[in-house]
Amino acid sequence: MKWIIALTMCACLLGAGVAPAQAEVKIGIVNIQDVLEKSEPGQSVMAEFQGKADEVKKELEKRKNELEKLRGEMEKQSLVLSQDAKQDKELEFKRKVRDYQDYVQVTQRNLQVENDKLSKPIMETLGEVLKDFGKKNKFTMIVDVKTPGVVYTDEANDVTKQVILELNKAWREHKKK
């Protein structure tokens, strides 16, 4: 009876030491910001967006200059205007400043919407490229280097350059369609 218990315990201990084989974990690191800045579609979108942003900047500068000119005129006229006329000019100036500030906020929101609209097709294509690249190269996962919690990565795991090449190729094929 003791032998049976001892053999059973040995068999259990030996069996516990054998673990099932686990698949190899392969993690790739990509810098999405670099991909967007250095890829053909990213550069194209940045150039288009920069053109629109420059137009908005010119308009904002023009309106700001008009406000400064108006302020200068108010200061020059302040000595010759009556108190009521001064108050009217100040109210008009304050209204124009508020209008300018509102315009700045609206244009910032519009630029953000435009940036999102221009970036959406690239981000969709990039998602597909990353998925295909990961499957083709047998990655368990591909993580953006800027992801919170990523403290250290070995540069040997960086696939950013390969992803840029794949994105450029996919983008050219997408444009042909």
Task: Parse the chain into domains and list their residue ranges.
Answer: 20-176
Give per-residue pLDDT as tens, 58-95: 999 999 999 999 888 888 887 787 888 888 888 988 99
Distance between CA atoms of 142 and 128, rounded to whole angstroms?
A: 12
Angle, CA 132 vertex, CA 131 and CA 136 arms, to 5° = 120
Give the number of other CB atoms < 10 A from CB of residue 33: 13
Model pTM score: 0.69
Give per-residue pLDDT as tens, 97-119: 999 999 999 999 999 999 999 99
Q: Does domain 20-176 have CATH number 3.30.910.20?
A: yes
| Strand pairing report for 141-144 and 27-30 | parallel
